[in-house]
Structure 1
Amino acid sequence: MFSKIMVPVDLRHEEQLTKSLDVVAKLAKVYGSKVVFVGVSLAAPTEISRNPEEYKAKLALFTQEQSDLHNIDAESHPIFSVDPTADLNKKLLDAIDEIGADLILMATHIPNVSDYIFANHGNYISDHADISVFLVRG
């Protein structure tokens, strides 16, 4: 049913991804899907990496750890942006076609007051993607 599952990840909040990582691993095993972990970062230094090469290496390490832990076929897809906060939704939508994903699985949070003023990324992606989107709370 799903051959390639795109999973946006924020390496700054890796501890909050556990539930969604477990769900994607189970789906990947059931459908024999490849999982593509997508990370969007600045090319400039951040708290995660000093440069694009270091970010690519950290995302690749994260991907390998998930692949080994869950015994899934996975690859990483780093994306760089001048302003990830402003560009994140567009970059993620563009990545769908770049990697040929047929499902997006995203971690999300329980809605709060600010979500009524500022749309969260999961809602935006589910409203604008032309493929299925699976939002995992928690």
Structure 2
Amino acid sequence: MFKKIMVPVDLAHKEDLGKALKCAADLAGHYGAEIVYVGVTTNTPSSTAHNAEEYKGKLDAFADEQAEGQGFTAGAEVLVSHDPRSDVDDVLLQAVTDTGADLVVMASHMPNILDYVWPSNGGKIAEHAKCTVMVVRGT
């Protein structure tokens, strides 16, 4: 049913992704799908990496770690943005097309009052992506 699963990853908050990562791994194993972990970063230094190349190395290692012994293949795709906080949704929507994903599995927080003013990343991706999107709440 699914052949390529895109999983957006924020390496600065990877401890909050457990439930979504498990869900994606289970689906990949069940359908024999490939997972592509997608990270959005900037070329300027951040708390996660000094530059996009260093971030790519960390995301590649993360993908290898996730796939190890799990029965699915994984890759990593780093997308560079000038301001990831403001345009992460648009960058991720483009990544859905660029990666050829037919399913997106992404973590999300529990909705709160601010979600009525600014939609969550998961909400925007689910609303605009041209593939199936699974938003997984909780850690």
Q: State the match for 2:127 in structure 1.
A: 127
Q: State the match for 2:102 in structure 1.
A: 102
1:75-104 residue CA offsets vs partner (Å, 9 max, x unmatched):
000000001111111111111111110000
Separation in structure 2 between the aligned mates of residue 85 and residue 69 of structure 1, nearest angstrom: 34
Structure 1 gaps, min length 5? none
Q: State the match for 1:111 in structure 2.
A: 111
Q: Percent same amino acid among aligned pairs?
A: 45
Correspondences of 1:83-98 after superposition (within 5 Å): 83-98=83-98
Separation in structure 1 between the aligned mates of residue 70 and residue 62 of structure 2, nearest angstrom: 12
State the 4+ residue runs in structure 1 displaced beyond 3 angstroms: none
Q: Does structure 1 residue 33 correspond to structure 2 residue 33?
A: yes
Q: State the match for 2:54 in structure 1.
A: 54
Q: State the match for 2:78 in structure 1.
A: 78
Shift of 1:12: 0.6
Give the letter aligned to residue 117 of structure 2.
I
CA root-mean-square deviation:
0.8
Shift of 1:73: 0.7
Structure 2 gaps, min length 5? none
Separation in structure 1 between the aligned mates of residue 43 and residue 98 of structure 2, nearest angstrom: 19
TM-score (norm 2): 0.97
Separation in structure 2 between the aligned mates of residue 70 and residue 15 of structure 1, nearest angstrom: 19
What secondary structure is seen at the aligned counterpart in 2 of 1:127? Answer: helix
